[in-house]
Each structure stands twice: as C-alpha cells, then as structure tokens.
C-alpha cells in the first residue's frame, strides 16, 4: 500500500474536543482513508427497487473503484468492477439502464449480467489453453442486502452487514421497513459535486443541530408562520442524540408541546396504522411527534426523515462519495412506502427534492457554507488551528442511563457529541502516522 505524507501525528483529540483541519483538506489523508476505511468497510451501492427486473443495472462507486450493480437473468444481485479485463476501459458508460450483456466499447469484449466473459470478439486468436472463466469482470467479494439497501465490501472477511449496523438498526429500521412492502426509491438520485470534504456532510447529518437557526434562517424566514406552526424552530426537551461504537449516529428532534394539533399528525393516518402493525411499540413511540431525524451510517451513508407538508414526510438517503481532500460527489434519493398512494408519492418526491435535492432550499444553504469553510481552511496558516468540538465535552461521558433504547443516548440534542464520536471512530480506523 502506498503511504502518502500527512501533516501531524494526532488528528483527533477527543479529550480536548479538537480535530485537526488537515482531516478536512489534506489529499494525503484522503488517499489514506480510501485504503483504511472505504476499502475495508461496507459501502452503500443502491436500493433494490432501483434494479427490480432482470438486466437492470446501476453504476456506482464502492470505495476507490467504480462498479456495476446488476440483476441477472435469475433475478440474483451481482456487482463487479466496471473495468474491462483487456485494456481497462469502462465497460458500462451509462449511470443506469437495462442490458442483456455488457460490451466494452473499446475492443468488444462482452460480459454477461454476472460479469462472466462471453467473447473477446477475437476468440480465434486466443491460445488454445486460455481460461475464459478467469477473465471475467472481478466480482465484489461481499454483497448483501439490508432492508432494501444493497451494500458491498472489498474485504471478503468483513462481518455481515446486519452485524455491522448492529444495535443502531433499532433507530434505522423505522425509516427503511416500517410497512410490509418496505420502501421504494421514487426516482433516480440527484447527483452533484461540492467543494468540500465528504466528512463535512457525514458530520452534518450525524448530529449538527447547532447550524439550523443560523444556516437555514432564509427558508425559515420565507414562511415564518408555517415554520412556527410546524415546530421548525422549537425542539422539545426529550430530543436526543444516539451514538454507536461503530461510528453510526443520529439526532432525533421532537415537536415541542403547545403547537396546533394538526402539527402532531406527521404521517398519513392510513400509513400510521400500517406502522403500528409492523414496528415495535418503542419504535412507534419514537415516530410519534418526531419532527425530524437525521443520521449517518459510518462512513458515508446518511438519512433524514423530515416534514414536507401536512401529514407528509419524505425519507431521504444521502451518500457522500469522496473525490479528493476538498471535494465530494453527493447522491440523494427520495423514498416512500410501497403502500402509499400515487398522489402521496408524487408530493413526497416533489417536495423532498425541493428541500434536499441538488438545488434544494436547505441544500444550497449547507453546500455554500461547507465550500466556504473548506476554502478558508485550506492554507498553512488556518491549518495551525484545529476545529472545535468543545460543546461535546461536558456530555461525552454522561449518557442518559434512563433511556430504554439501545446504543448510547445523550441529551440535549444540540451538542456535538455525535459528531465527536464519529470522528473518534474515524481516528481509530486511520491510525495516524507521523
């Protein structure tokens, strides 16, 4: 493995509540984390409903490499490297589609839906003893599905994905499988790039409640009456953060008391009844009067369920794909229950992307400031001064012992505990070198 030079030997100081700015701008650190984190953990590839039929495929990144995720003729999921075994060209050049076979546009090597080589086009020139079965597209060693989410891993010995998600599933499942039919992706994901490090997005979703009233003052000001009636600006005291030792985490913000009664009907009544038949009582209680939940599955898959209209909620999956030390690619999916009405799905899709799509009103606020922070931090002067996570320190060793759910829970919800715990896990995997 190539070892790239990095600045400093201790990037995350949990005791001081500080994280080096190098972590968010340094290309050497970026290359190291590709090897030590992204090539050794589970990575989200797609949702099953994106490739429902035989021959359907999407092209995605798994760690450092591009892969094709396909459904073969038997309906089985496949994932393989998107690089021809002949001269390395991208075999599949579209983001998604349906294909009987995959034909390399360079010299015509042709692979089936499992990645197996069918012909080189010039088979007659091959040595008689060549093993065609050894020249297929390299397969992703581990491919598993969790509640509709397709994960892959380059590490063949990694723990099962259900074990990787672990106890955090108790908080995640109500947004992935709260109905018998499960969730479905409503449209292809929005895809765009941002001039900032991938961890900025992951940290924002794992638990940055402190930015809402300043960063998003614009959208809240556009309709202050609705913001007040919907409880945007006031969180109940029982809001909290959840952290898991694997780096997963989320922030749950509940509606405050005293709002108009319609504010507390957060889901359609017909779907609400389905939830009650599917979820555990504690999970159903969690959903009741929940204004918004944001979370991150380590390292770079985030989710949010947020109000987009009266009794309408959008579930959004978000992936932060590293491009360099100072750039990432973002993909954003909108999901809804399969049992929901077409009208409900249409509203959720439109309003979900309106808020959190590539040009979403909240998205524009975040990305502009993320890019600004990156630009201001990427110089030798600024790098001398670490980022502050100090508001985590008074609470870090004082979890709420009375909470009945799994994982560690911390109150209040507007500290930086979840963010610092995310960075603690990142530091453990990176093993900084001088």
Catalytic site residue from 27, 123, 211, 390:
211
Could you confirm whether 354 is annotated as catalytic? no
Catalytic site residue from 13, 86, 173, 216:
216
Catalytic site residue from 56, 112, 208, 378:
208
Q: Which residues neighbour 15 within 8 Å (Cβ) at sequence distance 6 or greater?
A: none
Could you confirm whether 267 is annotated as catalytic? no
Catalytic site residue from 27, 107, 223, 270:
107
Could you confirm whether 211 is annotated as catalytic? yes
Could you confirm whether 216 is annotated as catalytic? yes
Catalytic site residue from 22, 26, 365, 366:
366
Could you confirm whether 390 is annotated as catalytic? no
Q: What's the per-residue H, E or C state across the chain?
A: CCCCCCCCCCCEECCCCEECHHHHCCHHHHHHHHHHHHCCCCEEEEEHHHCCCCCEEEEEEECCEEEEEEECCCCCEEEEECCCCCCCCCCCCCCEEECCCEECCCCCCEECCCCCEEECCCHHHCCCCCCHHHHCCCECCEEEEECCEEEEECCCCCCCHHHHHHHHHHHHHHHCCCCCCCEEECCCCEEEEECCCHHHHHHHHHHCHHHHHHHCHHHHHHCHHHHHHCCCCCECCCCEEEECCCCCEEEEEEECCCCCHHHHCCCCHHHHHHHHHHCCHHHHHHHCCEEEEEEEECCCEEEEEEEEECCEEEEEEEEEEEEECCEEEEEEEEEEECCCCHHHHHHHHHHHHHHHCCCCHHHHHHHHHHHHHHHHHCCCCHHHCCEECHHHCCCCCCCCCCCCCCCEEECCCCCCHHHHHHHHHHHHHHCCCC
- Active-site residues, by number, are 107, 208, 211, 216, 366
């Amino acid at each position: 493995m190539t070892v790239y030079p990095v600045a400093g030997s201790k990037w995350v100081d949990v005791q001081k509540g500080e994280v080096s700015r190098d972590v968010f701008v340094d290309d050497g650190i970026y290359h190291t984390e590709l090897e030590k984190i992204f090539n050794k953990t589970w990575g989200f590839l797609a949702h099953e409903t994106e490739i429902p039929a035989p021959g359907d495929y999407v092209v995605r990144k798994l760690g450092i490499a591009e892969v094709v995720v396909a459904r073969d003729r038997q309906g089985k999921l496949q994932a393989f490297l998107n690089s021809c075994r002949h001269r390395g060209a991208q075999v599949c050049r579209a983001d998604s589609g349906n294909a009987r076979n995959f034909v390399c546009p360079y010299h015509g090597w042709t692979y089936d839906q499992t990645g197996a080589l069918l012909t080189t086009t010039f088979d007659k020139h091959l040595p008689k003893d060549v093993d065609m079965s050894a020249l297929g597209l390299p397969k992703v060693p581990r491919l598993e599905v969790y509640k509709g989410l397709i994960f892959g891993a380059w590490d063949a010995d990694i723990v099962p994905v259900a074990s990787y998600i672990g106890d955090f599933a108790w908080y995640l499942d109500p947004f992935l499988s709260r109905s018998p039919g499960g969730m479905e992706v409503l449209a292809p994901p929005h895809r765009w790039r941002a001039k900032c490090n991938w961890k900025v997005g992951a940290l924002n979703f794992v638990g940055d409640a402190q930015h809402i009233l300043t960063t998003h003052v614009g959208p809240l000001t556009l309709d202050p009456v609705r913001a007040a009636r919907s409880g945007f600006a006031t969180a109940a005291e029982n809001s909290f953060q959840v952290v898991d030792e694997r780096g997963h985490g989320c922030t749950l913000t509940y509606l405050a008391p005293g709002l108009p009664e319609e504010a507390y009907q957060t889901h359609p009544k017909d779907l609400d009844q389905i939830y009650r038949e599917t979820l555990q009582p504690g999970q159903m209680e969690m959903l009741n009067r929940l204004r918004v939940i944001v979370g991150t599955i380590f390292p770079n898959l985030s989710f949010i369920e947020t109000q987009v209209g009266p009794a309408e909620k959008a579930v959004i999956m978000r992936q932060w794909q590293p491009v360099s030390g100072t750039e990432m690619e973002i993909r954003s999916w909108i999901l809804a229950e399969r049992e929901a009405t077409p009208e409900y799905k249409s509203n959720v899709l439109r309003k979900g992307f309106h808020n959190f799509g590539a040009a979403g009103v909240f998205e524009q606020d975040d990305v502009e400031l993320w890019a600004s922070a990156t630009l201001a931090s990427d110089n030798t002067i600024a790098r001398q001064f670490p980022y502050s996570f100090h508001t985590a320190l008074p609470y870090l060793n004082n979890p709420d012992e009375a909470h009945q759910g799994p994982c560690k829970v911390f109150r209040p919800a507007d500290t930086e505990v979840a963010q610092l715990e995310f960075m603690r896990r990142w530091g453990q995997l990176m093993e900084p070198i001088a």
